[in-house]
Amino acid sequence: MKNRFSVEDAVDELKQRFEQEGDLNLDQRDIDALLAKAELSHEEFNTAAARHLGQRFLDGALDFEFCDVLINELYKMTYVFGESGHSELFWDVFNAFDQGEYHHDNDRSEDPVETYTRPRLVECLTKH
Protein backbone atom coordinates (compact mmCIF):
# COMPACT_ATOMS: atom_id res chain seq x y z
CA MET A 1 0.00 0.00 0.00
CA LYS A 2 1.38 3.39 -1.05
CA ASN A 3 1.92 5.97 1.67
CA ARG A 4 0.10 9.11 0.62
CA PHE A 5 1.97 12.42 0.73
CA SER A 6 -0.02 14.53 3.16
CA VAL A 7 -0.37 18.24 3.75
CA GLU A 8 1.56 17.65 6.98
CA ASP A 9 4.39 16.16 4.89
CA ALA A 10 4.28 19.21 2.61
CA VAL A 11 4.47 21.59 5.55
CA ASP A 12 7.41 19.63 7.00
CA GLU A 13 9.16 19.77 3.62
CA LEU A 14 8.57 23.51 3.35
CA LYS A 15 9.75 24.06 6.92
CA GLN A 16 13.05 22.36 6.10
CA ARG A 17 13.39 24.56 3.02
CA PHE A 18 12.62 27.65 5.10
CA GLU A 19 15.21 26.70 7.71
CA GLN A 20 17.86 26.11 5.03
CA GLU A 21 17.12 29.14 2.84
CA GLY A 22 15.61 31.61 5.31
CA ASP A 23 12.59 32.17 3.06
CA LEU A 24 10.26 30.23 0.77
CA ASN A 25 9.54 32.30 -2.36
CA LEU A 26 7.18 29.68 -3.78
CA ASP A 27 6.33 29.81 -7.43
CA GLN A 28 3.74 28.07 -9.57
CA ARG A 29 6.00 25.03 -10.12
CA ASP A 30 6.38 24.58 -6.35
CA ILE A 31 2.62 24.70 -5.81
CA ASP A 32 1.90 22.40 -8.76
CA ALA A 33 4.40 19.86 -7.41
CA LEU A 34 2.90 19.94 -3.92
CA LEU A 35 -0.64 19.58 -5.27
CA ALA A 36 0.38 16.65 -7.45
CA LYS A 37 2.21 14.87 -4.61
CA ALA A 38 -0.68 15.42 -2.19
CA GLU A 39 -3.28 14.59 -4.85
CA LEU A 40 -5.43 17.53 -3.74
CA SER A 41 -7.04 20.49 -5.42
CA HIS A 42 -5.63 23.92 -4.67
CA GLU A 43 -8.54 24.73 -2.34
CA GLU A 44 -8.30 21.38 -0.53
CA PHE A 45 -4.57 21.84 -0.04
CA ASN A 46 -4.83 25.45 1.17
CA THR A 47 -7.66 24.64 3.56
CA ALA A 48 -5.82 21.68 5.06
CA ALA A 49 -2.55 23.66 5.23
CA ALA A 50 -4.28 26.59 6.96
CA ARG A 51 -5.86 24.26 9.52
CA HIS A 52 -2.53 22.49 10.10
CA LEU A 53 -0.57 25.74 10.46
CA GLY A 54 -3.10 27.20 12.87
CA GLN A 55 -3.26 24.10 15.04
CA ARG A 56 0.48 23.43 15.07
CA PHE A 57 1.16 27.08 15.95
CA LEU A 58 -1.32 26.90 18.83
CA ASP A 59 0.27 23.64 19.99
CA GLY A 60 3.71 25.28 19.95
CA ALA A 61 5.05 22.89 17.31
CA LEU A 62 5.50 25.61 14.67
CA ASP A 63 6.68 29.16 15.25
CA PHE A 64 4.93 32.34 14.14
CA GLU A 65 7.57 33.38 11.62
CA PHE A 66 7.38 30.17 9.57
CA CYS A 67 3.57 29.98 9.73
CA ASP A 68 3.24 33.61 8.70
CA VAL A 69 5.65 33.23 5.79
CA LEU A 70 3.97 30.06 4.53
CA ILE A 71 0.40 31.37 4.79
CA ASN A 72 1.53 34.52 2.95
CA GLU A 73 3.11 32.41 0.21
CA LEU A 74 -0.08 30.38 -0.16
CA TYR A 75 -2.07 33.62 -0.24
CA LYS A 76 0.27 34.99 -2.92
CA MET A 77 -0.28 31.93 -5.09
CA THR A 78 -4.03 32.11 -4.56
CA TYR A 79 -4.70 35.81 -4.98
CA VAL A 80 -1.78 37.49 -6.70
CA PHE A 81 -1.36 34.85 -9.38
CA GLY A 82 -5.09 34.34 -9.82
CA GLU A 83 -5.29 30.73 -8.70
CA SER A 84 -8.47 29.43 -7.20
CA GLY A 85 -8.03 27.91 -3.81
CA HIS A 86 -9.32 29.91 -0.92
CA SER A 87 -11.90 28.91 1.63
CA GLU A 88 -13.38 30.75 4.58
CA LEU A 89 -11.05 28.83 6.89
CA PHE A 90 -8.01 29.73 4.80
CA TRP A 91 -9.00 33.41 4.78
CA ASP A 92 -9.61 33.40 8.56
CA VAL A 93 -6.23 31.78 9.31
CA PHE A 94 -4.46 34.13 6.89
CA ASN A 95 -6.03 37.13 8.63
CA ALA A 96 -5.17 35.77 12.08
CA PHE A 97 -1.48 35.53 11.17
CA ASP A 98 -1.64 38.90 9.42
CA GLN A 99 -2.80 40.54 12.65
CA GLY A 100 0.38 39.40 14.40
CA GLU A 101 2.67 41.11 11.91
CA TYR A 102 2.44 44.60 13.38
CA HIS A 103 1.73 46.61 16.51
CA HIS A 104 -1.86 47.84 16.46
CA ASP A 105 -2.39 51.55 17.13
CA ASN A 106 1.38 51.79 17.67
CA ASP A 107 0.92 50.06 21.03
CA ARG A 108 4.32 48.51 21.61
CA SER A 109 3.37 47.33 25.10
CA GLU A 110 1.52 44.32 23.74
CA ASP A 111 2.65 41.36 21.70
CA PRO A 112 0.44 41.36 18.58
CA VAL A 113 0.92 37.62 18.12
CA GLU A 114 -0.41 36.86 21.59
CA THR A 115 -3.01 39.64 21.60
CA TYR A 116 -4.43 39.11 18.11
CA THR A 117 -3.15 36.01 16.31
CA ARG A 118 -3.53 33.37 18.99
CA PRO A 119 -7.13 34.27 20.02
CA ARG A 120 -8.24 34.60 16.39
CA LEU A 121 -6.81 31.19 15.56
CA VAL A 122 -8.61 29.61 18.50
CA GLU A 123 -11.82 31.27 17.34
CA CYS A 124 -11.54 30.31 13.68
CA LEU A 125 -10.40 26.72 14.30
CA THR A 126 -13.28 26.24 16.72
CA LYS A 127 -15.69 27.78 14.20
CA HIS A 128 -14.51 25.60 11.33
Cα diameter, the chain: 55
| Residue 47 lies inside a defined structural domain of this protein | yes
* Cβ atoms within 10 Å, residue 74: 27
Structural domain count, the chain: 1
Task: List, for residues 48-103, the tens digit of each pLDDT value.
Answer: 999 999 999 999 999 999 999 999 999 988 776 566 667 899 999 999 999 999 99
* Cβ atoms within 10 Å, residue 111: 13
| Residue 19 lies inside a defined structural domain of this protein | yes
| Residue 11 lies inside a defined structural domain of this protein | yes
| Residue 1 lies inside a defined structural domain of this protein | no
Give the Cα separation of 107 and 40 in Å (integer): 41
pTM of the model: 0.91
* Cβ atoms within 10 Å, residue 90: 25
| Residue 2 lies inside a defined structural domain of this protein | no
| Residue 28 lies inside a defined structural domain of this protein | yes
> What does the pLDDT read at residue 3?
62
Domain, as residue range, for 58: 7-127
| Residue 87 lies inside a defined structural domain of this protein | yes
The more confidently predicted of residues 106 and 96 is 96
Q: Average pLDDT over the chain, rounded to whole?
A: 91
